[in-house]
């Protein structure tokens, strides 16, 4: 049977308009029932090109759905990636305004900064040796889909894997061993909300394995991970809805704490 063509550019523009106007749209797979994961990564790429045309610079990648908690929360069980641009990075000491956001959620992450290009195949040890820094971070997701729920894998990938903003804690030189990186205790406390804790081993067994998985996924799209990239390895716990006045803090057993204040 012939598959209906997926209008990649038009769908990227639809998602981009929803982002700029901070409004929800119907999941793409409702209309385009045959959309595949590969179509979705093409839409994601086209969406990133629209952002680049507005002057945004690609500074890294985020991995998603790398922990059991996140997979259960979203009802999906495959690791995915999205692109990070310079405008998505928010400072720790700048109050985060909910104006112009759709339904943002926050989640605790471990991140890396690479110092040289990584290409598949790569071992965890090689990937770690290419990291100049490690940090604890908070990712702020903001799906552009109605209700932020029950989307399919192609839907979320096309939407840049729900990536919206992120906060980086103070960076530490990447001196922790592979074992130590897989054994970081993480606790995200939310004033006026639910606090959650998990070990970094929740992230695919070790956040470094998530970095390796990113390199593998990029290679399947004919890409490598450039040196100087920021990489978020994926959340260790479920994401929490942001509300006005909320203060979120991520404390870990190994890295400087990071916080976010919602204005
Ligand atoms: C998809 C993105 C998941 C993570 O860290 O697991 C993600 C979503 O939950 O909307 O960023
Ligand atoms: Mg995340």
CA distances from 84 to 58, 123, 165, 230 (A): 6, 24, 8, 8
192 or 125: whose pLDDT is higher? 125
- Say if ligand 1 is within 6 A of residue 142 CB: no
CA 107 to ligand 1 center in whole angstroms: 8
pLDDT at 10 (0 to 100): 98
Q: Kindly identify the ligand whose nearest atom is closest to the C-alpha of 237.
A: 1
What are the pLDDT digits (tens) for 32-43? 999 999 999 999
Stretch 56-69: mean pLDDT: 98
Stretch 67-93: mean pLDDT: 96
Stretch 50-60: mean pLDDT: 98
pLDDT of 178 strictly over 60: yes
Q: Which residues of 80-109 are buried (b: 16+ CB within 10 A; e: fewer)?
A: bbbbbbeebebebeeebebeeebbbbbbbb
pLDDT at 151 (0 to 100): 73
Residue whose C-alpha is closest to residue 80's, from 159, 8, 183: 159
pLDDT at 7 (0 to 100): 97
Atom of ligand 1 nearest to the CA of 109: 5
- Say if ligand 1 is within 6 A of residue 140 CB: no
Residue 175 — pLDDT band, cuts 50, 70, 90? very high
pLDDT at 149 (0 to 100): 74
What are the pLDDT digits (tens) for 218-262? 999 999 999 999 999 999 999 999 999 999 999 999 999 999 999
pLDDT at 113 (0 to 100): 98
| Cis amide bond preceding 42, omega within 30 | no
- Say if ligand 1 is within 6 A of residue 203 CB: no
Q: How far does Cα 195 stand from its chain's mean position?
A: 20
Asked if residues 25 and 146 have their Cβ atoms less than 8 Å apart, the reply is yes
pLDDT at 150 (0 to 100): 61
Residue 194 — pLDDT band, cuts 50, 70, 90? confident
Among the listed ranges 10-24, 59-73, 149-163, 195-209, which one has the minimum average pLDDT value?
A: 149-163
Q: Rounded CA gap, 202 and 19, in Å? A: 30
Gyration radius of the chain's alpha carbons: 17
Stretch 120-137: mean pLDDT: 98
- Say if ligand 1 is within 6 A of residue 156 CB: yes
Q: Rounded CA gap, 61 and 58, in Å? A: 8
pLDDT at 206 (0 to 100): 98
Which two structure tokens, joined as six digits, stand for 67?
Answer: 């922990």
Stretch 149-158: mean pLDDT: 88
Q: Rounded CA gap, 78 and 90, in Å? A: 27
Atom of ligand 1 nearest to the CA of 107: 5
CA 239 to ligand 2 center in whole angstroms: 8
Phi, psi dihedrals of residue 102, rounded to the nearest 5°: -95, -70
Indicate the length of the chain as a whole number.
263
pLDDT of 192 strictly over 80: no
Atom of ligand 1 nearest to the CA of 234: 5
pLDDT of 25 strictly over 70: yes
């Amino acid at each position: 049977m012939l598959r209906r063509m997926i209008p990649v550019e038009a769908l990227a523009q639809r998602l981009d308009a929803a982002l700029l106007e901070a409004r929800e749209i119907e999941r793409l797979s409702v209309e385009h029932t045959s959309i595949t994961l590969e179509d979705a990564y093409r839409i994601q790429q086209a969406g990133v090109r629209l952002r680049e045309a507005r002057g945004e610079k690609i500074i890294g990648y985020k991995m998603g759905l790398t922990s059991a908690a996140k997979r259960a929360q979203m009802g999906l069980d495959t690791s995915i990636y999205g692109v990070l641009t310079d405008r998505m990075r928010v400072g720790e000491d700048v109050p985060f305004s909910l104006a112009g956001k759709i339904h943002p959620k926050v989640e605790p992450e471990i991140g890396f900064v690479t110092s040289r290009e990584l290409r598949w195949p790569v071992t965890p040890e090689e990937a770690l040796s290419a990291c100049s820094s490690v940090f604890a971070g908070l990712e702020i997701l903001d799906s552009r889909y109605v209700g932020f729920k029950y989307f399919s894998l192609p839907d979320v990938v096309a939407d840049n894997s729900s990536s919206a903003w992120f906060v980086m804690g103070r960076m530490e030189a990447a001196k922790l061993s592979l074992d130590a990186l897989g054994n970081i205790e993480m606790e995200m406390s939310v004033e006026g909300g639910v606090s959650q804790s998990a070990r970094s081993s929740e992230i695919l067994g070790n956040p470094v394995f998530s970095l390796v998985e990113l390199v593998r996924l990029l290679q399947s799209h004919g890409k490598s991970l450039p040196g100087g990239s920021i990489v978020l390895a994926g959340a260790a716990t479920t994401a929490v809805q942001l509300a006005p006045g909320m203060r979120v803090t991520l404390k870990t057993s190994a890295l400087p704490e990071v916080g976010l204040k919602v204005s």
